[in-house]
A and B are shown apart, each in its own frame.
Chain A
Amino acid sequence: DSGVTQTPKHLITATGQRVTLRCSPRSGDLSVYWYQQSLDQGLQFLIHYYNGEERAKGNILERFSAQQFPDLHSELNLSSLELGDSALYFCASSAVPGALNEQYFGPGTRLTVT
C-alpha cells in the first residue's frame, strides 16, 4: 500500500459526458502528479501540482483540467469524453518536486467510455 488513494476504482460513462477523478496523496506529500496509461500510448504524464499550484503540464488535452485543494487532495476533470479517453488514470505523489525523488502511485481509476 503506497498510501495514495484514488476514487473511484472503476468508472463507466458515455461519450460526451464529464467525470471527476479524485486523489489523496500520501500523508505529508505536497506534490501530486496525474498520468494516463493506455495500451497504445503507454504511461503519459498529464499534469503536476505542488502545494496547490500547477507546476508542469504534459500531454493534457484542453478538455481535461485538474486542481489541488488546500487539504492537498487533487481532482482530475475530464469533459466531452471520447472513446479514446478510455484508459487507466493514475495519481502519484512525492514529498517535493525533484528529479531525484521517486513517486508513490495510487491504484488507479479505470475509465471506460462507451
Chain B
Amino acid sequence: AQSVTQLGSHVSVSEGALVLLRCNYSSSVPPYLFWYVQYPNQGLQLLLKYTSAATLVKGINGFEAEFKKSETSFHLTKPSAHMSDAAEYFCAVSAAGGSYIPTFGRGTSLIVHP
C-alpha cells in the first residue's frame, strides 16, 4: 500500500519569497513521485516527477523537488514566488511493484501576497 501526506492545507507567502510545500510518502516498494498543480477551474497538470534517475528533479515554472529516501519526503520548492503561482498543489505516489494508480495527497493551497 502507498500513501501521501501533505503537511499544511494552506501555505501563505509573499511575492518573491521562498515557496516550500511539504510531502511525505509511504510505500513498501521504491516509489515514483509526482507533483501536480491545479489552477482555479482547471484540471491538474504535471509540475514534475521523480522516477529514480536523479534525486533533485526540476520541473516547469521554476519549481523543483528533492527525493530524500531517509526522510521519505519529496518537498516542492521555488526560490521566488510569483503571484501566478497561487494554486492548489498535489503530491502523488505510485510504485512499479505496487499500484500503478497514483495515490494523491489532500492538496496544499498556495496563497501569494503582493
A residues with CB within 8 A of B: 2, 4, 33, 42-43, 45, 48, 56, 58, 90, 92, 97-100, 102-108
CB-contacts of B55-101 with A (<8 A) = 90, 94-96, 98-101
B residues with CB within 8 A of A: 32, 34, 36, 41-46, 49, 51, 90, 94-96, 98-107
Q: Interface majority SS on A: helix, strand, loop or mixed?
A: loop
In the assembled complex, which residues on chain B have CB atoms less than 8 Å from the CB atom of A58?
Answer: 101
CA distance A90 to B51 in the complex (A): 25
CA distance A92 to B34 in the complex (A): 15
The answer to whether B107 touches A42 (Cβ under 8 A) is yes
Of the A-B pairs whose beta carbons lie under 8 Å apart in the complex, a sample of 14, sorted by A's number, is A2-B45, A33-B101, A42-B104, A48-B101, A56-B99, A90-B44, A92-B43, A98-B100, A99-B95, A99-B99, A99-B102, A105-B43, A105-B44, A107-B41
From known contacts A99-B32, A102-B49, infer whether A108 and B43 are also in contact, taking CB-CB under 8 Å.
yes
CA distance A29 to B104 in the complex (A): 22
Q: Which residue of A lies closest to B90 (CB)?
A: A43
Most chain A C-beta atoms within 10 Å of own C-beta, residue among B36, B41, B96, B102 = B102
From known contacts A42-B107, A43-B90, A43-B104, infer whether A99 and B98 are also in contact, taking CB-CB under 8 Å.
yes
The answer to whether B43 touches A107 (Cβ under 8 A) is yes
